[in-house]
């Protein structure tokens, strides 16, 4: 399997997939924080560092097929703790880099099979729900079946933080539900 880990931080998604039993023959990761990238590279020395997501050119930087794309795209533009500028904040537009990469693989006839995205609870209510509706619409317009659920990390981590998880698979056919 091949994993593309965007906005990777220190590799939480990668580690979670490994703990769930996934094995990857190729992993590419992207983060602009040099310290997070250094930790990621230390934890996963065979992973390919891709740098800034906006600079990734799939035809040049990525393999011909990716099985799973994951990412916790920047939340500052949607968070209750931030200024909530949404798509008017450049960090808020970085979701569209995910869409750009997903679209590339669809256009070449090799769509990425699955994605797992994460963000703050405030994404759901930002701009009266319109921001989330745009994100959901972009993903479904690409041909993905999308599920989402708000989960509190207190069930798996020693912290109390609500996060929205957005999971998708290509196609409209039925598959087992991700969330109960």
Q: Which of 131, 159, 3 is nearest to 66 (CA)?
A: 3
**Hey, which residues are catalytic here?**
75
Give the C-alpha separation, 5 to 24, whole Å: 12
**Cα 15 to the chain's mean position, in Å?**
14
Q: 80 with 125: CB under 8 angstroms?
A: no
Report residue 74: phi and psi, to 5°: -50, 135
Q: State both tokens at 135.
A: 């994100």
Neighbouring-strand partners of residue 149 = 165
Residues 6+ apart with CB under 8 A from 109: none
* Helix, strand or coil, per DSSP, at residue 15: helix
Tokens 């960090």 correspond to 91
């Amino acid at each position: 399997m091949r994993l593309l880990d965007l906005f990777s931080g220190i590799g939480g998604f990668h580690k979670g997939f490994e703990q769930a039993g996934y094995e990857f023959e190729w992993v590419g990761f992207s983060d602009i924080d040099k310290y997070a990238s250094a930790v990621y590279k230390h934890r996963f020395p065979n992973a390919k560092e891709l740098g800034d997501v906006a600079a990734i050119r799939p035809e040049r930087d990525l393999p011909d097929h990716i099985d799973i794309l994951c990412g916790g795209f920047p939340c500052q533009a949607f968070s209750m703790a931030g200024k909530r500028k949404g798509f008017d904040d450049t960090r808020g537009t970085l979701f569209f880099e995910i869409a750009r990469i997903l679209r590339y693989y669809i256009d070449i006839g090799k769509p990425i099979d699955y994605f797992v995205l994460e963000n703050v609870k405030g994404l759901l209510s930002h701009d009266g729900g319109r921001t989330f509706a745009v994100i959901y619409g972009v993903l479904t317009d690409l041909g993905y079946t999308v599920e989402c659920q708000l989960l509190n990390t207190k069930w798996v981590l020693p912290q109390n933080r609500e996060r929205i998880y957005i999971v998708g698979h290509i196609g409209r056919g039925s598959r087992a539900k991700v969330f109960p």
